Amino acid sequence: MQNIPPLICIGMPVYNEENILRQRLESIVNQSFSNFEIIISDNGSTDKTQEICEEICKKNKRINYIRHEVNKGGIWNFSFVLRQAKTKYFVWASGDDIWSKEFLEKNIEVLEKNEKIVGSIGEVSVFTRTKNPPTNEIKVIKNTKKFQYVHPVFGDKNKKIKFLLNYSMASSVYAVYRTIELQKAVNLEKTMWMGDLAMLLNIIKEGDFEVVESVFLHKYETKRSTSIIEYMKKGKFSLIQILFLNAPFTFWCLKNLGLKIFLKNFVYFITLNIEGVYTIIAEVIRICKRIIYRQEKYW
């Protein structure tokens, strides 16, 4: 069995995740499907992430650890682990994700049975932590509707694109994908607001997308600031990208989806950019108020 090549690569881009990484790796190793390899790409962590990874790698040969001395950004790190994959299937796994035990098994079954499906994921919901690490007790927040964060996408390419634009949820990036199709469709080198949705628009041109309701993926709902400006500044977005946050995505769609599809969804793009401008204006007004009232944080 040791000579059988892995069927799926699990790419884990990490940065300073000493509090959750060990528990996350243990849960992956205990998946019902075991023919996998894990590639951990450490984006210059300054905590004990490296120590934990090196310790676990010695115990499990399926885990490969790669460390980068300088933090090159989250988007670059996600792209890096995808480029390392040589397996038939690939999945991104964040340190904060929680998979049901059969997550890999059931999604791979879907892909093995139907060549037209390019990606498959379980139902997605979010959770919060009721206790701090290392206990990490969680509370799953029940979805208010079916397919709240992910949705099956089948059929005509134009209809799939229109549906995804209006659905506007991008949690499906954490699905199990056919590696070659994903590598061909994805360009994560450039930082762009709504870049995850752009990735999905590209990948569904290669095939359909399934949601397996019998398994789940829980995403951690952080208590970070809701400020888009703060988030984009930390992500090293330019001033122009911040002021016109939806413009790069709009031009990307025009270039990659084609003029005909773009014009069919023209109202969507106009509305998207108007909403983007209003969002930034509202945040600037809030920042000005905080400056006037001498509050410590602008956000």
* SS3 per-residue string spanning 156-187: CHHHHHHHHHHHCCCHHHHCEEEHHHHHHHCC
In a domain, 270, yes or no: yes
Residue at 282 is within a domain? yes
Decide if 237 is inside a domain: yes
Could you read off the pLDDT of 170-187 as tens digits, one per residue? 999 999 999 999 998 886
Q: Indicate if the pLDDT at residue 226 is higher than 80.
A: no
**Beta-bridge mates of residue 9:** 37, 90
Question: What does the pLDDT look like over 92-134, one tens digit per residue?
Answer: 999 889 999 999 999 999 999 999 999 999 999 999 877 666 5
Mean pLDDT of 243-256: 93
pLDDT of residue 132: 65
Judge if 259 and 167 occupy the same domain. Answer: no
CA distance 203 to 208: 9
- The per-residue pLDDT for range 74-99, each reduced to its tens digit, is 888 999 999 999 999 999 999 889 99
User: Which of 44-53, 100-109, 228-237, 246-255 comes out lowest in average pLDDT?
Assistant: 228-237
Residues facing residue 92 across a β-bridge? 11
- Tell me, yes or no, whether 46 and 95 share the same domain: yes
Task: Tell me what percent of the residues of the chain surpass a pLDDT of 90.
Answer: 68
**Residues 60, 170 share a domain:** yes
- Residue 73's pLDDT is 81
Helices (H) and strands (E) in the chain, counts: 12, 9
Q: What is the pLDDT of residues 8-25, one digit of tens each?
A: 999 999 999 988 899 899
Q: Of the candidates 157, 189, 220, which is a domain's last residue?
A: 220
Residues 187 and 262 in one domain: no
User: Does residue 153 share a domain with residue 24?
Assistant: yes
pLDDT beyond 50 at 2: yes
Question: Is 297 within the bounds of a domain?
Answer: no
Query: pTM of the full predicted structure?
Result: 0.90
Better pLDDT: 164 or 138: 164
- According to the model, what pLDDT value does residue 133 have? 61
Confirm whether 148 is domain-assigned. Answer: yes
> What's the pLDDT score for residue 299?
52
Q: What is the CATH number of the domain that holds 200?
A: 3.90.550.10
Residues 178 and 256 in one domain: no
> Rounded to whole angstroms, how far apart are CA atoms 156 and 255?
20
235 within a domain of the structure (yes/no): yes
- 254 and 165, same domain (yes or no): no
Number of structural domains found in the chain:
2
Q: Are 176 and 271 in a shared domain?
A: no
Residue 209, CA distances (Å) to 9, 150, 230, 249 in order: 19, 10, 33, 22
> Which domain covers residue 195, as residue numbers?
8-220
Q: What is the mean pLDDT of residues 32-58?
A: 94
Instruction: Using alpha carbons, list the distances in angstroms from residue 113 to 35, 72, 101.
Output: 18, 38, 20
Compute φ and ψ for 193, nearest 5 degrees: -60, 130
Residues 147, 253, single domain; the answer is no
Under a CB-based contact definition with an 8 Å cutoff, are residues 161 and 155 in contact?
no
Co-location of 174 and 256 in the same domain: no
**Which of the listed residues 220, 245, 272 is the one where a domain comes to its end?**
220
Least confident of 26-35, 51-60, 181-190, 199-208: 181-190
Question: Do residues 128 and 198 both lie within one domain?
Answer: yes
Average pLDDT of the chain to the nearest whole number: 90
